[in-house]
Structure 1
Amino acid sequence: MSFHWSIAWFGYLLTLGAIPHILLRNKPPVSTLAWIWAVILFPYVGTLFYFVFGTERIERKKLRARREMAASGARSERRVTAFTRTLLDELPDPERAAVELLNNINELAVSSVQSTRLLVGGAQFFSALGQRIDEAREHVHIEFFIWRDDARGRELREHLIAAAKRGVEVRVLVDQIGSFGLRRSFFDPLCEAGGKFAWFRTAHPLRNRWTFHLRNHRKLQIIDGRIAFVGGMNMAREYAGEDPEVGPWRDVQIELTGGVAKRLQMTFADDWFFVTEEKLLEKHYYPQPVVPQKYLVQSMPDGPDSPDDPIQMSMVYLLNSARHRVWLTAGYFVPKEPLLTALELAAARGVDVRLLVSEKSDHPLLVNVGRSYYEELLRFGVKIYEYDKGINHAKVTLIDDKWLMVGSANFDIRSMRLNFELNVAVRDPERAAELEAVLAHDFDLDSRPIVLEEFLVRPWSQRLKESLLRPLAPLL
């Protein structure tokens, strides 16, 4: 047998080995067939691409650590505190049942907080975070998708170095792909001061990890286990609108003070253990609230290690539960079918559904993909606005008059399927009213409405671009 025939036969043996693996993954039928055809038609390249990009799930070594933390008394994922129980008992029966369902979807008991603060724009967030770090007494845990070596990134590093020098435990976790170009040496001064730094990476051959396209998109900061920040902002100057090449930038983070910080600490502890194998077991990382709490908060961690897509399921349920209003902003809008249907059904039953999408984006191809869904949504009565003042990167949802959701998850396939994400749903009428004012301003003054009749006569070339890019959405 010639050398060329040997290469060909080996390629088809790889294909025969890959096909059972694809079938056993139980992907959606279209995805399964697409990958099977890819490995058949392109024996080497298709198989390589499948094992690099086709794996959407990852098993994390966290179960033993979770058991040890639970046994230590530090963690109690499913236990509702007395303060939270008081707030639940005050809810009307339908709303209490809704909260209990969110508990079950996310496999985390609802928690509560003493206070909340909505931070709109990077300048507000960076100032608030720096102040809290300066006030920290025990520990500071920081998790970002993007961290740049610019004025803002260096400023936060100095806050952390000062905290470490006065004896505060400092841990920083940054996604290696999201922060591509940032050198590890950037954090050397922090480590020399006593802090700790780690890259989050799902591709690590020495640990038998080969999933190059799965990313930690979470933005989570925890101070002393009592204060937490969650939202869409990373650590870079563009998030404060200070990059002249990018221009104005709209984003939202929420500060939560109270019991939910303990829940969110568990998420950080799992991520930190995944990359460092250090177990955060001590009780001081998970303090119990000592004063009555005022607002309910449901934590929603999600990722490729969560087989049930809890953020997507939670969003679908909240959309289906809305009575008169759903206003949302999507940094990137490429919805999966359940979310698309939930938006359409909400509008069809008379709910005021408004969607704000950024006309300008740091990923411009996704803008075209998102527009391929506009016609269908507009016909059902969804009101769509394109933010044209700059980049709107916020991921917030307002449901009726009491609930708001803030987090890192975009309304797209990557967030719902491939990334590690974190959202929180907060029952706080005051913050809901504040978010209503922010969104009303964006709808009325900083955006242009998409009108169905005008949208239908857009150029044929634009329609073709949208349709060609739509199947590639998971890779963009």
Structure 2
Amino acid sequence: MWLIIFLVLYIILAISIVLSLLIHGVKPAKTLGWLLAIFTIPVGGILLYLMIGRNRRKQKLYHSKKDEKLSSLHQNVSVENELYKRNKKIIHLIQRNTDHAPTLTNELTLLKDGKITFQSIFDDLEKAKDYIHLQYYIFEEGELANKLLELFKKKIAQNVKIRLIYDGIGSYSLSKSYLKKLKVIGVEAYPFLPFRFGRFLSSLNYRNHRKIIVIDDKIGFTGGINVSDKYLKGDPNLGTWHDMHLRIEGLAAWYLNRIFILDWYLATKQSIATKAPIIDPNKIHGKIVQIVPSGPDDDFSSIEQAYFSIITTAKEYVYITNPYIIPSQAILHALQTAALSGVDVRMLVSESADSTIVNWTVKSYFESFLKAGIKIFLYPDGFLHSKIVVSDNAIVSIGTANVDIRSFHQNYEVNAIVYNSDFAKKLKEDFLIDSGKSIELHYEVYTRRPWIHRLKEGAAKILSPIL
């Protein structure tokens, strides 16, 4: 009797999933793959689909509403700037996707590696007058977390409001005792999609990979660095962790805060009131910055499209620094086409990796990259975790998003796009210095790698859509 009931429910669930795939499936190959899995792997196929297969762009966790405050901001964006006009198509693409306009009055500071980054962060946190908003994928206990706790206590005594979002899986090791200490001193701390049985299947695969700090609507930080002592002390297995962060002073910080507020609502169901900043239309000095959020709830993959547009519009060069280059088909074709067309395409990838499977998956694309004329450099000193794209001395992307399908379609990410020649030249110079210290791969040599390496790459590549 129970077996019959189970079979009936199973068949109903399978039929409903099949109908959903036929109605909402975007890519025919992917839809066919899931249909085969559901019909050939009893129970397991359905469980896998429920965890990682659903089209979140159709089944959204939340729907963001148009912010009327943005209208007045967008009306102020009119500038006769050569780089602005040159990148107008990319700027328009991002604005259509995210409703985030470029901002014209920003001062930027590049922060390389953890010691410099956290020194800058703590200096600015000390000056907070109104609020501090923090959002991290990984928030680990240790020296940094304890130092933040003491600073929070001091700022709350000064009537500064402190809110913290931490990812429910990325920060899973965060102890109840530390969270209790935060609560006792008055910090509002909430997990993003925590590990809970009732929401396990629907939320496990969708993580908030953003790293954001906003202070008083004026100063913001974003980039690749999490709250972890390995950025100060290194890692026993990987050595020194290298990364890049960005300090933003200006209107772009307001847009970072808007992203935080939307994520805060998703995590807490609480709204935070905010006012649009007053902008002087005559003040157009500073660096042009456009904040690009991306997540599974968006109608389009805004960061993937931004990367695609940077690559396909490049005329001279595209330099990419990223530890996880596992491209979608669109990005793969864009990179190969650019290189074959004569654009100088280079990649700086960490020689060491924090995941064996991911490492072999990244390597599985090397041969096709090299064959197209893309130059690949393996950075040998510790673990390189930066996420940077720089092109044509004109445009830079720096933020949290990797060049992989997870960052494009499954994670909540944020990048800052900078349209500034001096800034781009600085990142280009930094790339060339680091690549000069690295090991360059060559196509003829790489094709002679052992067959066992090819086998590992091929096996790992199967998992690329979910890594």
1:36 aligns with 2:26: no
Which residue identity does 1:44 align to in structure 2?
A: V
Deviations 1:124-168 (A, max 9, x none): 111111111101111110000001111122222322222222111
Give the equivalent residue in structure 1 for 2:54. Answer: 55
Kindly indicate whether the alpha-carbon contact (under 8 Å) linking 2:83 and 2:420 is maintained by their aligned counterparts in 1.
no
Compared CA separation, residues 218 and 427, structure 1 to 2 (3 A): same
- The aligned runs of 1:44-443 (5 Å cut-off) are 44-57=43-56, 58-63=59-64, 66=65, 70=68, 75-76=69-70, 79-80=73-74, 82=76, 84-86=77-79, 88-89=80-81, 91=83, 93-201=85-193, 210-283=202-275, 286-289=276-279, 292-443=284-435
**Distance in 1 (alpha carbons) for counterparts of 2:398 and 2:83:** 22
The answer to which of 300-309 and 153-162 deviates more is 153-162
Compared CA separation, residues 427 and 193, structure 1 to 2 (3 A): same
SS in 1 for 2:189: strand
**Distance in 1 (alpha carbons) for counterparts of 2:370 and 2:434:** 19
Deviations 1:193-243 (A, max 9, x none): 222100001766778982221100001110111111111110001123433
Kindly indicate whether the alpha-carbon contact (under 8 Å) linking 1:111 and 1:296 is maintained by their aligned counterparts in 2.
yes
Compared CA separation, residues 4 and 263, structure 1 to 2 (3 A): closer
Q: 2:464 aligns with which of 440, 455, 473?
A: 473
Which residue identity does 2:442 align to in structure 1?
A: V
SS in 2 for 1:80: helix
Which residue identity does 1:197 align to in structure 2?
A: A
**Distance in 1 (alpha carbons) for counterparts of 2:455 and 2:190:** 43
Which residue identity does 2:78 align to in structure 1?
A: R
Kindly indicate whether the alpha-carbon contact (under 8 Å) linking 2:103 and 2:288 is maintained by their aligned counterparts in 1.
yes
The answer to which of 256-265 and 204-213 deviates more is 204-213
The answer to which of 325-334 and 136-145 deviates more is 325-334
Which residue identity does 1:355 align to in structure 2?
A: M
Give the equivalent residue in structure 1 for 2:449. Answer: 458
**Distance in 2 (alpha carbons) for counterparts of 1:92 and 1:159:** 40
SS in 2 for 1:406: strand
SS in 2 for 1:210: helix
Kindly indicate whether the alpha-carbon contact (under 8 Å) linking 2:324 and 2:358 is maintained by their aligned counterparts in 1.
yes
Compared CA separation, residues 203 and 76, structure 1 to 2 (3 A): farther
Give the equivalent residue in structure 1 for 2:19. Answer: 20
Which residue identity does 1:85 align to in structure 2?
A: S
Shift of 1:470: 0.5
Kindly indicate whether the alpha-carbon contact (under 8 Å) linking 1:333 and 1:370 is maintained by their aligned counterparts in 2.
yes
Compared CA separation, residues 21 and 203, structure 1 to 2 (3 A): farther
The answer to which of 134-143 and 288-297 deviates more is 288-297
SS in 2 for 1:76: helix
Compared CA separation, residues 164 and 91, structure 1 to 2 (3 A): same
Shift of 1:79: 3.6
Compared CA separation, residues 248 and 77, structure 1 to 2 (3 A): farther
**Distance in 2 (alpha carbons) for counterparts of 1:344 and 1:80:** 35
**Distance in 2 (alpha carbons) for counterparts of 1:195 and 1:161:** 8
**Distance in 2 (alpha carbons) for counterparts of 1:241 and 1:466:** 32
SS in 2 for 1:215: coil
Kindly indicate whether the alpha-carbon contact (under 8 Å) linking 1:332 and 1:370 is maintained by their aligned counterparts in 2.
yes
Deviations 1:244-278 (A, max 9, x none): 34311110011111011111111111000111112
Kindly indicate whether the alpha-carbon contact (under 8 Å) linking 1:55 and 1:211 is maintained by their aligned counterparts in 2.
no
The answer to which of 95-104 and 382-391 deviates more is 95-104
SS in 1 for 2:54: coil
Kindly indicate whether the alpha-carbon contact (under 8 Å) linking 1:139 and 1:223 is maintained by their aligned counterparts in 2.
yes
Shift of 1:28: 1.7
Compared CA separation, residues 436 and 93, structure 1 to 2 (3 A): closer
TM-score normalised per structure 2: 0.93
**Distance in 1 (alpha carbons) for counterparts of 2:84 and 2:231:** 39
Kindly indicate whether the alpha-carbon contact (under 8 Å) linking 2:240 and 2:381 is maintained by their aligned counterparts in 1.
yes
Compared CA separation, residues 77 and 392, structure 1 to 2 (3 A): farther
Which residue identity does 2:169 align to in structure 1?
A: I
**Distance in 1 (alpha carbons) for counterparts of 2:296 and 2:225:** 21
Deviations 1:264-318 (A, max 9, x none): 11111100011111211232xx433555441111111000001210111111111
**Distance in 1 (alpha carbons) for counterparts of 2:27 and 2:40:** 20
Kindly indicate whether the alpha-carbon contact (under 8 Å) linking 1:407 and 1:424 is maintained by their aligned counterparts in 2.
yes
Kindly indicate whether the alpha-carbon contact (under 8 Å) linking 2:348 and 2:435 is maintained by their aligned counterparts in 1.
yes
Kindly indicate whether the alpha-carbon contact (under 8 Å) linking 1:368 and 1:466 is maintained by their aligned counterparts in 2.
yes
Structure 2 residues without counterparts, runs of 5 or longer: none
Equivalences, count: 463
Give the equivalent residue in structure 2 for 1:11. Answer: 10
SS in 2 for 1:377: helix
**Distance in 1 (alpha carbons) for counterparts of 2:208 and 2:331:** 22
Which residue identity does 2:352 align to in structure 1?
A: K
% identity of equivalent residues: 28
Compared CA separation, residues 215 and 449, structure 1 to 2 (3 A): same
SS in 1 for 2:348: strand
Kindly indicate whether the alpha-carbon contact (under 8 Å) linking 2:210 and 2:400 is maintained by their aligned counterparts in 1.
yes
SS in 2 for 1:430: helix
Kindly indicate whether the alpha-carbon contact (under 8 Å) linking 2:25 and 2:55 is maintained by their aligned counterparts in 1.
no
